[in-house]
Amino acid sequence: MGDLMQRVWDRALERRVPLAVQFDLTYRCNERCVHCYLDHDDHGEVTTAEVKDILDQLSAAGTLFLTLSGGELLLRKDFFELLTYARARRFDVKLKTNAILMGEREALRIRDLGVRQVQVSIYSHRAEVHDAITKVPGSLARSVAAIRFLAGHGLHVVIANVLMKPNASDYPGVRALAASLGVECSIDPTITPKMDGDTSIVSLRMDAPQLLQVFTDPSVAGEGFCATPAAIDTETLDSLPCSAGHTACYISPYGDIYPCVQFPLPSGNLRRQRFEEIWYDSPQLQEVRTIRMRDLPTCSSCSLVMNCTRCPGLAYMEGNMRGPSSADCDKSMLRASAAQEPGAAHHHAAVPSQGVPS
């Protein structure tokens, strides 16, 4: 992050400006991904007029970065009307899509509207693996074709590769595919419980040997996976866990506000309250803002706290937003192991998932 943008984020934090918002316009989707945390039925999505009003409220509150996502955005018949409206309000827009409904005409419209980035989910370079995850035959071919259209028209495309047991060994192939298409690729080994609390899909998380393979892969060193444990300092203990509820939040297709899409703490609804009323006065968001690392009974004394990627949302879904997240504990231990000798790495990889570093 450049100095200018760092100053913008620092000022937003100081003034509690909701600088970045993810707005899911629908949970409906034309894929049925095995790891998806959403309910794809429509329980009364915000209307076109409601979305426009919400965008006006976000603009007035100071939001600059707007991520529009789903579900699948292109299932909304008013998608381009809403995208046009968002760009007219001068939001810096990022789209998340599976892109299987996107052709050259859609790519051109997105380019002409000045969208900054389009993120497309690709799970494997092998159709049999990707299509098995999405449960849509031919979905890989269609998504890749769309990426070619988007990148070919000058759009900034990022392939999002979520890692799980079925595709754990395929990330090198996905990265090679991205390179051949001239686009970026990000990988993420995070599988979250469903938003309704169902934890069945957590079984898809990669096991320790699979994670360790990723964390020790020199080709992904820049992803920030591997780090040697550092001494605990006061600055870290006083730091914020993340931007959720501080400079960022999430809005569901039903107008619900949460600190983050991975932090489903109900904090208000835009069909009953104005955005600024919820953002500044919600008791739930106010509680989230009080949390510092030193306040976390278990994590504050952990030797790995300096390099932990603890997500308060995942901790919340495990029952306590001030407690540890077992998934992040596992990853932190493996990252530390990966930075040591191979023998030590394999020893730590055997720690069971319930373990909490101390």
Q: Are 82 and 76 in contact (CB under 8 A)?
A: yes
Out of 79-83, 224-228, 329-333, least confident range: 224-228
Residue range 94-135, pLDDT digits in tens? 999 999 999 999 999 999 999 999 999 999 999 999 999 999
Q: Are 54 and 66 in contact (CB under 8 A)?
A: no
Q: Which two tokens stand for residue 221?
A: 């060193």
| 44-56 mean pLDDT | 98
CA distance 262 to 191: 10
Reported as a pLDDT band with limits 50, 70 and 90, residue 234 is: low
CA angle 67, 70, 73 (to 5 degrees): 85
Q: What is the pLDDT of residue 346?
A: 38
Reported as a pLDDT band with limits 50, 70 and 90, residue 45 is: very high
DSSP alpha helix (H) spans, 170-244: 171-181, 208-215, 234-237
Comparing 31 with 198, the larger pLDDT belongs to: 31
CA distance 246 to 258: 12
Residue range 212-233, pLDDT digits in tens? 888 888 887 655 443 333 444 5
Q: Is 22 helix (H, G, I), strand (E, B) or coil?
A: strand
Q: Is 250 helix (H, G, I), strand (E, B) or coil?
A: strand
Q: What is the pLDDT of residue 241?
A: 77
Report the percentage of the chain scoring pLDDT > 70.
Answer: 89
CA distance 292 to 256: 25
Please check the confidence at residue 85 and state whether its pLDDT lies above 70: yes
Please check the confidence at residue 201 and state whether its pLDDT lies above 80: yes
Q: What is the pLDDT of residue 225?
A: 43
Q: What is the pLDDT of residue 345?
A: 37
Residue range 138-161, pLDDT digits in tens? 999 999 999 999 999 999 999 999
Beta strands in the chain (DSSP E): 20-24, 65-69, 92-97, 117-121, 157-162, 184-188, 248-251, 257-258
Q: What is the pLDDT of residue 304?
A: 75
Reported as a pLDDT band with limits 50, 70 and 90, residue 349 is: very low
Q: What is the pLDDT of residue 327?
A: 81
Specify the pTM: 0.88
